Homo-oligomer: A and B are copies of this chain.
Amino acid sequence: MTVTVVVGNPKPASRTLVAATLLAEKLTGRAPGTGADHTIDLVELGPGLLGWGDEAVGKAIRTVQESSLVVFASPTFKATYTGLLKLFLDQFAGGTGLRDVVSVPLMLGAGPAHALAPELTLKPVLSELGGTCALPGLYLLDSAYADGPQLDAYAERWAPVVRALTETASR
């Protein structure tokens, strides 16, 4: 099973990236610290995201499409995902771009008030791209994602669903 994390934080190597990697690990039962097979830190793609046909962007898209599980992670900007993440998602084909990819929406925020954002704003975009969005949106406080119980509880609750969906797929 190929596992990828996509990170839409304008700051490279962010806590968003760390949290997404941790989540991918726990959802798939990998050894701690082994992370995801691929990490796409979108800020590194730079201005190539503003147009169409950029080579590095194309490679990132294919990596996502060949994955069984992808965690799409974003900090919370203006009560929703970042423009940076949306730029990347805009590159996929509507309805089919994430077909057969178990797509997990993750957002980090400074306070609890935006906790509904991954479910109500990010997940619908992944769903529009045809992803298999079987897991609820997860929202974590950026000050407490690693040592709070929330990430673990979520991973434990939903790992069997990830397993059911990825075992039957061909990848």
Contacts and interface: CB of A to CB of B under 8 A. Distances in A.
A46 B128 CA distance: 27
Interface string A34-77: 00000000010011011110000000000000000000000001
A79 B129 CA distance: 9
Contacts of A14: none
Contact of A82 (B86, B129, B167): B86
B50 A77 contact: no
Interface in A150-165: 160-161, 163-165
Given A79-B116, A129-B78, A134-B165, A87 B84 contact: yes
Give the oligomeric copy count. Answer: 4
A78 B94 contact: yes
Contact of A89 (B50, B83, B92, B111): B83
Interface residues of A, number: 53
11 contacts: A10-B50, A46-B47, A46-B50, A78-B90, A78-B94, A78-B125, A78-B129, A112-B115, A113-B116, A115-B116, A164-B168
